[in-house]
Structure 1
Amino acid sequence: MSFQIRHVVVYGRGERARKVTFELGQLNIITGSSRRGKSAIVTIIDYCLGSGGYPVKAGVTRDNSRGFGLMIVSGDRAMYVARPAPERLHKTADRMYVSVVSDPESIPAFDELEFNTNVDTAKQIIGDLCGIDRSLRLPMPGTAGPLSPSIRHALFFVMQEQNEIANQDVLFHTQGDEHRPNAIRAVIPYFLGAVDTEYATLTIRLRALKRELVSLQRALDERAATLGATGQARALLAEAAAVGLLDELPPQGLNESEAVGILRPLSLVDVRSVRQPEAQGDQITALNQQRAELRDRLAGLNIQLTRLRRATNENSDFASEASEQRARLASLGFFGNEDGPVPACPLCGNDAPGAEGTWADMRRELLRLDGEIVAIRTDTPKIDQMMALLAEEIQEVTQLLRTNKAEIDELEAGIQAIARLRDAESRTALVQGRIGFYLEMLDRRDQQPPIRDRTAEIEAEIAEIEVRLEENGNPDLLSSFLARISQNLWEKAQRLELEHSAWPIRLDLRRLTVVADTRNGAVPLPEMGSGENYVGYHVATFLALHEWFAMEDRPVPRILILDQPSQVWFPADYAGDGSHVLPDDDRQSLVRIYQAVMETIARPEVDLQVIVMEHADLEEQWFSDAVRYRWRADGEALIPADWIEEN
C-alpha cells in the first residue's frame, strides 16, 4: 500500500480556494520566477502530513491563507486531509480534518470542514493508508525507548527541500535536525523490509534487559560497598581495639551479624572510663598481605578457567572435524558388512578384488574416530562442571577482595582521623562516633525494601533472546538489501556522469551519506566537491530507494518531491526570470538529471509520482509536457494576485 498526491489546496479569505493539481504516476513540474510560492508547496504538503510546527514560511502564502488541504490517492481510495493555519500567537494548529472521499476531484469549502481529529491521530490514519505498521516497535540508537514508525518517518525518503538537495552534509530530509539521524538509522531497515515485528520486539527487549542488568548490578554493588558491612564492621572493630573500646581484637571470620553484635554496645560506652591499650600489631600490613594472597589466588583460578575454556573449544573443534571425517568414511559404504568388503565398489559399481587391506585400514580408522568422539562427548560435561565450580570460587574470592578493600579503606580513614587528635579521650570519642554512624546507616538499610538479586534470571532471559535472534533473525539481510540498492545507485551515478562514479558507489547508513570506494580509499559525499555531484548523488540515491520501495511494496508514499534541483547551475542571486542561459555542459548535466527521473518513472514495476519545483524551463518537448504550471507572468503564482489586493 502507498499513496500519491492529486491536489494541494490553499484556502484564502472568505470562500476562496486555490487548487494545484498533479498527475499520478508522472513527472510534474512547477517552473517559475522566485517568490511565486513554488517552495511553499513542499511546506504545505509537510504541514498537512502532520508536521510538529508550522513550516510555511512567513510571507505572502502565510499572510493570505486560512488553511491548507491535501487530496491523497491510494489505488481506488481517496482521502482528503486539511489543517487550519495557526491562530494568532500560536505556533501551530493541533486539529486536523481527515475524511475518506468518493470523488477525488471534489474539494470541500473551508467552512464545511469539521476539524474532527488531532494531529497524532491524523498521522496514524494517514500511516494506515500508506500501510505502515503502527504496532511495530523499533530499537532507537542512542536512546532508552523504542520508536514506532509513522508517516513522518516515511517523509525522510520523500522530500528534498531547497536547502537539502544540494547539501553535501545532509542526504535525507530533516537529517540536519537534532536527534533526526538516529531516527533515520532506526526506521530505514523497516522501510527497506529488512526487519520484522518479532525481530524488532526481541531486540528492544534485549536492550531493556541489558540496561536492567547493569542497573541491578550497580545497585547491588553500591549496597554491598556502602552497607554490606562485613569489611567495614571488622575495620571498626580494629579501630575500637586500637583506642581501648575493646580489650582485644576479635578473631577473624566474623560474619556481619556477629560483628554488629560486638559493635552495638560500644556506642554506649562512657569514653572517660576507657583505658588506653598497649601497642598492637599493624592491622593494615596484615590486611595488605591478605589482599596480595587473595589476588594471587584469583589469578591462579582465572588461569585454570582459561585453560578449561581452551580445552572445551579444542574438543569442540576436534569433535566437529572428526565427525566430518567419519561421515566421509561411512558414506563410502564399506562398513555395512563387518566380515569383509562388499564385492562391488560403492563408487563405480565394479568388482573390487584385493580390497581387503584397504577395507581393514579404513574400518580401523572409522572405529578410532568413533572412540575419540565418544571420549570427547564424555569429557565435555566433566569440563563444564569443573568450569562452573571454578566460576563459583572466583566469585567467592572476588567478594573476599571487596571485603578486604572495604576494611583497608575504613581503617586508613580511621587512622588518618585519629592522628589529627592529640588526646586519647578525643580519639576514643571519634571512633565511637564512627561506630554510631555506621550502626545508624545499617538500621536505615534494614528499614529499606530489600533488593532482590535477579541477576541469574535476567542473564538467562538475555541468553534465550540472543539464541532466538540468532536462529530467527538475519543480520545480513540489511547488508544484502543495501548492496543491491547501492549497485543501482552506482549505475545511476554513471549515467549521470558524476565524479568518482568510475568506482563502486554505496549508501552508508552509519554516516548517512553516499561513499565512493576509490583506489585511495573511501570518499564520502562531503569530500567529493562540486554542487553538480551533490545534486546528482541525492537524486540518484532517492531514485534507487524508490525503485526498491516500489518493487518490494514497502509502505512509503510513491512520491518524490524535489525543490530546485537546477539551483547549482544558476547564479546565487538568480530570480528565475529566464535571463540566465545555461552553458551547454551545465544544460546537459541538468537534462541527464531529468532523464534519470523519467527512466525510473517509465519502469512498469515502479509507480512513482515526481513533483519538482524549478527555476529552469527547458525547451525539450518532454519537459514542456511535464510542466503543470508556469508562474512567471504578473499575477501567476500560488497565491493569486486578487487575494493579495483584497487583503
Structure 2
Amino acid sequence: MKCYIKLIAVLDKDENRHFVELTPGLNIITGSSSTGKTALMEIFDYCFGSSDYTVPKGIIRDYAKLYYITLQFSKYMLVLARDPTEPQKGFIKELTNLEEIESLTKGKFNFFDDNFIYPLRDFKNKLNRHFDIDFSSIDEDDSKIKWSGRRSPTPSIRSFTSFCLQHQNLIANKHAIFYRFEEKEKKEQAIEHFKIFMGIVDQDYFYTKQKQNQLVEEIKSVERSIKREVNNESSIKAKLGIILDDYYSLTGNKLLNIEMDEIYNKPEKTLQLLKQNVIKIDSTSTNYEIRKKELDGLHSQCIAEKRILLNKKSTIESSINHISAFNEDLSSINLIQDTDIKTCQCPFCQSEINPMISEAHDLTDAINWLNEELQATPYLAEPLKEELNLVKNKIENKNKEIQEIETNLIKLAKETEDLQNKTSISQLAEKYQLRFEIILEEIETKKRSNLIKKLNDLKSEEKKIQKEINKRYSIERNLEKLELEINKMMNQIGEKFDFEESYRPINLNFLLKNFDLFHKDQKRNTNTYLRAMGSGANWLYSHLSLFLSLHSLFATHKECKIPPILFLDQPTQVYFPNFHDDNAEEFKPENSVFKSELAKIDDDLSSVKKMFKEFIEFCQNHKDENGDILTQLIVTDHVDNLDILQNNDKNKQKTNEQEQKSQNQIYDFNSYVRARWRNTGEGFIKLKK
C-alpha cells in the first residue's frame, strides 16, 4: 500500500501546534534525552488505533490536548487524531483540499469537526478500508462457527504495527522480534493474516472455502447414508432369503431362480418375474421335514453354546468376587517389612554363634516377593472384568440367534396349523410371495442408486472448487516464493552489517509458518535461533536485516496492504548504551559509552556509520517508475552529525570529483535530519513563555 507519514503532531491545551514533518525515504530525528523522540512512535501507534495509551509520561502527556498524524496516499491525505481524555473515540478525515491540508500547520486551527469523530471500533473499520481491508469473514469452515459460537477475528490495521514498529526495548531483543507478539493470540492472528496482507487471498477465497467445506460435510453425510443403506441391504437380503426358504419348504419349489444380488439391485425386473410366476406344489417334497430338523438342530446347538457361555460367566464372576473379598482382607493385613535376627553366645568361650544368617536372607527375599505379589493382587480383577464383558456380549448375540430360530419354528408350526384349518398350501404360498413383493416395492421406492449419483455429483463439484482455488490462489506456492524472497534479501542486507565472524557468511532464515528466525550453519548443518546467537550486535542486525527485507517486500509487491513505514527507535544503543545520560548540546560518542569501552569507540562508530549507510541505500533502492522513493524509515536516535563515508568503503577505488560530490550529497547525514533537539529548551513540545 503506497503511503507514508507526512506529519506527527500534538495540539497542546493552549491550542498551539507542535509537529514534525516527514518525507518518503530516511527520516532522522536526533536529540538528547527526554526531548520526545520515542514519543513520536507512540503517538503514531495511538493515532493508528491502539487501545493502550503508551505515550511516555512527562511534558508531552502533561500538555497534550490532542494527538494527530497525517498519512499521504497517492491522491489524498488522511488525518487521524485521538483525544487522550476520550480513549474510546477517534477522528478520521480524508483531505484533498489544499487549504485544509495547510491549516494543519499554518493559520487558524479549527479543523477537528465533531462530525468526523467515531467510536474506536468504527474508527478502525473506516481506517481498514483505506488499506483495502474490508473482510466480513475469514473462516474457512462455517461448521466451526456453529460449533464454537464465534467467528475468527478479521484482519485489522492494528496487525500492521507488528511489522512497522521496532521499539527501543525490542530492536536488539534476543527473545522477541515483533511488537505485540508477547500476546499469543495477536501473534497467531498476524501470522494467519499475513497471506491476506500480502494480497495472496481475498474475501472470495474464504467464501469459496466455506462453500467447499459445506460440500465436504454433505459428502460425509451422503457417505453415512450409503453406509446405512449397505447395512440395511444385508438385513433386507436376509429377510428375502428367509421368505425364499420358507416358500421352498412349503411348496417344494423355488420362488425364483436368480441370485440374491440381482434380486436386490433390480427390484423392478424381479417384480415382473413374480407377476408371471405360477405357484406349483410338490406334494412329495420332504423340504418341510428337512427344514424342521435343520432348525431343531440349530436350536439345540445354540442352547448348548449358550449354557457353556453361562458357565464361563459364572466362573469369572466368582473369581472377581473372590479377588474383591481378598482385597478387603488384604487391607487389614500389616505387610512384613523386615526380620530381627538374634545371635547366641557360648557360655564357655563367650563367642557369638550365627547359624541362621543364610536362612534369614532367604526369608527376607521371600518376604519381599510375597509383598510384591500381594500388592499386585488388586489389579488381577481388571482383565477378568474385560473378559466378563466379552462373554456377556456373546450371550446376548446367542440369545438373538435362538430367538430367530424359535421364530422360524413357530412359523413352520403355524403353517401346519393353517393347513389343519383347511387353508390351502397355495394360499400360504401366495402370502409368502406377497410379502416378498412388498419388500421389493420398498427397495424400488428408495432407489439407492440416487444416493450414489448424488455422492458423485458432490465430489465432482468439490474437486472443481479445489481446482479453482489452486488456480486462483496457489497459497502454499506463493508463501514459499515470498519466504525465498525475504531470505534472499535478508542475507544481502545482512552481509553489509558487522555480524560476528562466527556467523559469516550470514545465512539467516525466516519461516512464514511460525515467524521463527535463525542462522543456518551450512558446514555444521545446525540452526542457531536468535536467542542463542549471542552479542547485542548480532541481535540488532538480525532484527534490521529481517525488517528491512520485509519492507522491501511491502514496497515492491503491488497487492501488499501493509504500508512500507518502519520506525526504528535508538538502534545504536548497542554501541552507545549510556544514552540516558546524554544531555549535551552536541553529540559526542565518548560521552555515550562506558569508560571501559572507550578503546573500541572508533570500531563502534564505524559500525554505526555502516548501519546508516545501509538505511540510505535501502531507501534509494526502492523507487517506483517515476523515481519516487517507496519506503519510509523513521529513525529516532541520539547520534548526530555522522560523516557516513568516513572509514567506509576503504577498498573502493577513487572516484572523480563529480561522482564524489554526488556521493557526498546522497550520504549527507544532515540532509535526512527532520528534527534536532539538543539545545536547552528544545524538544517535540516547545512551550511558549
What TM-score do you get using the length of structure 1 for normalisation?
Answer: 0.58
- The AA in structure 2 aligned to 1:476 is R
Unpaired runs of 5+ residues, structure 2, are 225-305, 315-388, 397-450, 644-666
Shift of 1:198: 3.7
Shift of 1:510: 3.3
Change (3 A) 1:462 1:18: same
Equivalences for residues 268-417 of structure 1 within 5 A: 281=307, 408=393
Equivalences for residues 226-237 of structure 1 within 5 A: none
2:33/2:579 contact within 8 Å kept: no
- The AA in structure 2 aligned to 1:602 is Q
Shift of 1:42: 0.7
1:51/1:152 contact within 8 Å kept: yes
1:30/1:629 contact within 8 Å kept: yes
Could you tell me which of 581, 584, 603 is aligned with 1:575?
581
Partner of 2:21: 21
Change (3 A) 1:18 1:285: farther
* 2:677 is the counterpart of 1:631: yes
Change (3 A) 1:469 1:20: same
Shift of 1:62: 1.8
* 2:630 is the counterpart of 1:607: yes
Percentage of identical aligned residues:
26
1:558/1:608 contact within 8 Å kept: yes
CA distance in 2, matches of 1:173, 1:41: 16
Shift of 1:74: 0.6
CA distance in 2, matches of 1:203, 1:17: 50
* 2:485 is the counterpart of 1:484: yes
Change (3 A) 1:196 1:97: closer
CA distance in 2, matches of 1:214, 1:155: 42
* 2:103 is the counterpart of 1:106: yes
- The AA in structure 2 aligned to 1:124 is N
Partner of 2:543: 538
1:576/1:616 contact within 8 Å kept: no
1:31/1:613 contact within 8 Å kept: yes
Change (3 A) 1:153 1:110: farther
* 2:217 is the counterpart of 1:171: no
- The AA in structure 1 aligned to 2:14 is G
Partner of 2:119: 118
Change (3 A) 1:477 1:627: same
Change (3 A) 1:148 1:632: same
1:2/1:130 contact within 8 Å kept: no
Could you tell me which of 528, 531, 534 is aligned with 2:533?
528
- The AA in structure 2 aligned to 1:16 is N
Shift of 1:461: 7.6
Partner of 2:51: 52
Q: What is the RMSD computed on CA atoms of the aligned residues? A: 4.2
CA distance in 2, matches of 1:410, 1:35: 87
Q: Deviations over 1:221-240 (max 9, x none)?
A: xxxxxxxxxxxxxxxxxxxx
1:97/1:113 contact within 8 Å kept: no
- The AA in structure 2 aligned to 1:510 is K
Higher deviation after alignment, 574-583 or 476-485: 574-583
- The AA in structure 1 aligned to 2:71 is I
Partner of 2:190: 184
CA distance in 1, matches of 2:5, 2:565: 8
CA distance in 1, matches of 2:72, 2:391: 70
Change (3 A) 1:408 1:82: same
| Count of residues paired in the alignment | 428
Shift of 1:4: 0.9
CA distance in 1, matches of 2:42, 2:221: 44
CA distance in 2, matches of 1:532, 1:65: 36
2:66/2:81 contact within 8 Å kept: yes
Partner of 2:75: 76
Partner of 1:589: 607
2:486/2:549 contact within 8 Å kept: yes
Q: Deviations over 1:192-241 (max 9, x none)?
A: 343344444444666788899999999xxxxxxxxxxxxxxxxxxxxxxx
2:33/2:581 contact within 8 Å kept: yes
Partner of 1:132: 133
> Aligned with 1:616: secondary structure?
coil
Partner of 2:564: 558
CA distance in 2, matches of 1:284, 1:17: 96
> Aligned with 2:71: secondary structure?
strand
Higher deviation after alignment, 631-640 or 486-495: 631-640
CA distance in 2, matches of 1:619, 1:98: 39
Shift of 1:496: 1.2
What TM-score do you get using the length of structure 2 for normalisation?
Answer: 0.55
1:137/1:148 contact within 8 Å kept: yes
- The AA in structure 1 aligned to 2:527 is A
Higher deviation after alignment, 167-176 or 203-212: 203-212
Q: Deviations over 1:496-540 (max 9, x none)?
A: 132424143221223423222112211222221111111112112
Change (3 A) 1:18 1:283: farther
2:82/2:90 contact within 8 Å kept: yes
Q: Deviations over 1:322-357 (max 9, x none)?
A: xxxxxxxxxxxxxxxxxxxxxxxxxxxxxxxxxxxx
1:74/1:129 contact within 8 Å kept: no
2:4/2:72 contact within 8 Å kept: yes
Q: Deviations over 1:355-414 (max 9, x none)?
A: xxxxxxxxxxxxxxxxxxxxxxxxxxxxxxxxxxxxxxxxxxxxxxxxx97974999xxx
> Aligned with 2:64: secondary structure?
coil
Unpaired runs of 5+ residues, structure 1, are 219-279, 289-403, 412-452
- The AA in structure 2 aligned to 1:541 is L
Shift of 1:478: 0.8
CA distance in 1, matches of 2:679, 2:222: 70
Change (3 A) 1:204 1:639: farther
